[in-house]
Amino acid sequence: MSTSFAKSTQNVQPTERTPLLSTEPTTNEAPSLDSEIVSEHHNHADPTEETPTASVIGVLVVILIGTFVANLDTSFVMTTHGTIATDFERFRDSGWVLSCYTLAMCATQPIYGKLSNIYGRKSMLTVSYSLFAFGCLICGTAATYNAVLLGRVLSGLGGAGMSILASILITDLVPLRQVASWRSYLNIFATTGRSIGGPVGGYLADTIGWRWSFAAQCPLILLAMSLGWFLIPAHTGNDEEEEESAQVKAGKLARVDFLGSITLAAAIVSILLPLELGGEKMPWNHPLIVVCFVSALFFGLAFVLIELYWAAEPIFPLFLLARRDVVTAYLAVGFLVAAQISMMIVVPLYFRITKNVSNSIAGAHLVPTICGNALGALLTGITIRRTGRYKPLMIFATLFSSSCYALLVLRWHGNTNTWESLYIFPGGFGTGIIDLSTLISLTADLDNSLVAIATSGLFLCQSIGVLSGISVSAAVTGATLRGALDHVKDLSPVIKERAIHDIEFVTTLKGAVHRAVVGAYIESFRYGFCVSVTFGLMALCVTIFVREHKL
């Protein structure tokens, strides 16, 4: 190291926001917007550095526990939300147990990155764990259904930070070339949580009650929070530094862009709420849907004006959206996640209708795509660590996934055998690849001061992809099903309406009527798979324009 460089860095004091393995001083300057040069990255740790030490592995254990519990919770609630609502005689509103969590998570995902820059990773992770645990505690002790929904909102606020800060911490702790490898372990724990959350939670709900499933999560989260408090490094310093630190803390609140945060959250909720409600729960021309879209336009415009002309430290710098690396990463992951979710919504229904199997067996057909997610992420981490390449992986992932969805359109016509049911594996495999490779693509040419904020936007795009996939798939399959049933001769309006809204009723039909209704469903499923193909091809087009930087 040169003498001039040593002099320039000797007064730099580490903070809990300083990357632990960084070899260069942190800079607050934003990267050039019109730089098109693909060169060696200079803002992250040297890829030749040693494997993280035991202390770093301890920090990763903390976030792995949180990742596991968050995904276990999601799977459990998806399995038992009907039972929870039924206990309060609110079955028709059971979907809100899922929606409240999702909307709260999406509304706060873009905010955590900037707040972690201001208050530090450890402080914000502690807040996230606390909110999640408190939400679970409220759900477990709730006396009313509205209290359950409040608990889900709080858990969603915490869950947003748990997922985002896990990735941000990994980016801080390890060299960029190793980020994908370590991030793949998070995917494995997430897959494990999703896999066992439903069966274990369902068993507990059937035996000792669903409340205990929420309560049992609290000790695990408290354990992770306690370990994190001791294992995640924080700056302490001497007396003079403590006095200076107190002055800095007094100004932290003033650095928070409250107006930007509020308008951004309001805009996100206003956009996503119609995706949750439109089509199935209420018609798209319902006044509430219209009001939501108008509100989204108003709050979105207000957010842009605040960030451009008012905020001293924007909660999400808009110039990031002018960078090709950022936009391509956001669009690629959003489109391919939407493609997979569209497929996953249809697959269980397909086997329920065509094979007349139970919910558990129909859901088991999703195992190949879930395993594909984990395997794709694991192999991506190994490949990027060894080669430093990620663009070919992104193109392969989108092409492989799109081929999978095309096979579903061409081959799933009602007589699907065991081997053909494995067609969905490539869809999950490709999404696992794109999940990690977009994170590397996003951060490869970003200044360290922008990584946390940009990463929070990436997670928001994933959530928007989930909701978009669900909404578009439901709208397309619903419209196609209704149209196909309209063309069935001698089908009474009563049977048609019941067949649309009650799958169990379809299994009771006999003879020609049953064959006609099942045929209409298969036609609607085919169009649902076409939605996945469309999203997959859109992701493929985006990945072609990705710039690859040397890691």
* Domain harbouring 404, CATH code: 1.20.1250.20
Cβ proximity of 444 and 176 under 8 Å? yes
Tokens coding 226 = 């306690």
Rg of the Cα atoms in the chain? 24
3 in a structural domain = no
Condensed to tens digits (0 to 9), the pLDDT of residues 66-95 reads 999 998 888 888 778 878 888 888 877 777
| Angle formed at CA 537 by CA 535 and CA 539, multiple of 5 degrees | 70
Range of the structural domain that residue 127 is part of? 52-233
pLDDT of residue 23: 40
Q: Using CA atoms in the order 130, 133, 138, 140, what is the torsion angle rounded to 10 degrees?
A: -170
Condensed to tens digits (0 to 9), the pLDDT of residues 512-550 reads 888 888 999 999 999 999 999 999 999 999 999 999 988
Last residue of a domain, one of 314, 332, 349: 314
Dihedrals phi, psi of 323, to nearest 5 degrees:
-95, 130
**Domain count within the chain:** 3
Confidence grade of residue 140 (pLDDT, cut at 50, 70, 90) = very high
44 in a structural domain = no
pLDDT of residue 283: 79
Cβ proximity of 18 and 123 under 8 Å? no
The arithmetic mean of pLDDT across residues 114-127, rounded, is 88
Query: Is there a single domain that holds both residue 58 and residue 102?
Result: yes
Query: Is there a single domain that holds both residue 371 and residue 267?
Result: no
The arithmetic mean of pLDDT across residues 192-216, rounded, is 82
Query: Is there a single domain that holds both residue 366 and residue 503?
Result: yes
Question: Residue type at 393?
Answer: L
Query: Is there a single domain that holds both residue 422 and residue 327?
Result: yes
The arithmetic mean of pLDDT across residues 372-380, rounded, is 90
Give the separation between CA 153 and CA 151, rounded to whole angstroms: 5
The DSSP string of 429-465 is HHHHHHHHHHHHHHHTTS-HHHHHHHHHHHHHHHHHH
pLDDT of residue 21: 44
Give the separation between CA 150 and CA 101, rounded to whole angstroms: 9
Among 348, 66, 99, 100, which Cα is nearest to 193's? 66
Cβ proximity of 106 and 264 under 8 Å? no
Query: Is there a single domain that holds both residue 411 and residue 519?
Result: yes
User: Positive or negative, the Cα torsion across 123, 127, 133, 134?
Assistant: positive
Condensed to tens digits (0 to 9), the pLDDT of residues 481-504 reads 888 888 887 778 888 888 887 777
Query: Is there a single domain that holds both residue 364 and residue 396?
Result: yes
238 in a structural domain = no
Confidence grade of residue 147 (pLDDT, cut at 50, 70, 90) = very high
Query: Is there a single domain that holds both residue 293 and residue 378?
Result: no
Query: Is there a single domain that holds both residue 336 and residue 300?
Result: no
443 in a structural domain = yes
Condensed to tens digits (0 to 9), the pLDDT of residues 268-322 reads 989 888 877 776 677 778 888 899 999 999 999 999 999 998 888 888 889 999 9
Give the separation between CA 482 and CA 292, rounded to whole angstroms: 27
Query: Is there a single domain that holds both residue 267 and residue 404?
Result: no
Share the mean pLDDT of the chain: 82
pLDDT of residue 7: 37
154 in a structural domain = yes
20 in a structural domain = no
Condensed to tens digits (0 to 9), the pLDDT of residues 41-68 reads 444 544 444 445 666 788 888 889 999 9
Confidence grade of residue 152 (pLDDT, cut at 50, 70, 90) = very high
Tokens coding 246 = 């107190």
pLDDT of residue 461: 92
Give the separation between CA 283 and CA 278, rounded to whole angstroms: 6
Query: Is there a single domain that holds both residue 274 and residue 380?
Result: no
Query: Is there a single domain that holds both residue 291 and residue 321?
Result: no
Cβ proximity of 233 and 172 under 8 Å? no
Cβ proximity of 115 and 285 under 8 Å? no
pLDDT of residue 138: 96
End-to-end, the C-alpha distance of the chain in Å comes to 21
Helix (H) or strand (E) holding 341: helix 324-355
Among 530, 190, 197, 528, which Cα is nearest to 371's? 190
Query: How far is the CA of 244 from the CAs of 14, 186, 241, 507, in angstroms?
Result: 14, 37, 5, 71
pLDDT of residue 238: 35
Neighbouring C-beta atoms of residue 502, cutoff 10 Å: 11
Helices (H), 174-216: 176-207, 211-215
Calculate what percentage of the chain has a pLDDT beyond 90. Answer: 31
Dihedrals phi, psi of 39, to nearest 5 degrees:
-140, 180
304 in a structural domain = yes
Which of 66-75, 219-228, 305-314, 360-369 comes out lowest in average pLDDT? 360-369
What angle, rounded to 10 degrees, do the helices at 448-486 and 258-277 form?
A: 20
Query: Is there a single domain that holds both residue 320 and residue 297?
Result: no
Condensed to tens digits (0 to 9), the pLDDT of residues 430-467 reads 999 999 899 899 988 888 888 888 988 998 899 889 88
Confidence grade of residue 242 (pLDDT, cut at 50, 70, 90) = very low
Longest dimension (CA), the chain: 89
151 in a structural domain = yes
Last residue of a domain, one of 299, 314, 329: 314
User: Positive or negative, the Cα torsion across 13, 18, 23, 28?
Assistant: negative
pLDDT of residue 36: 38
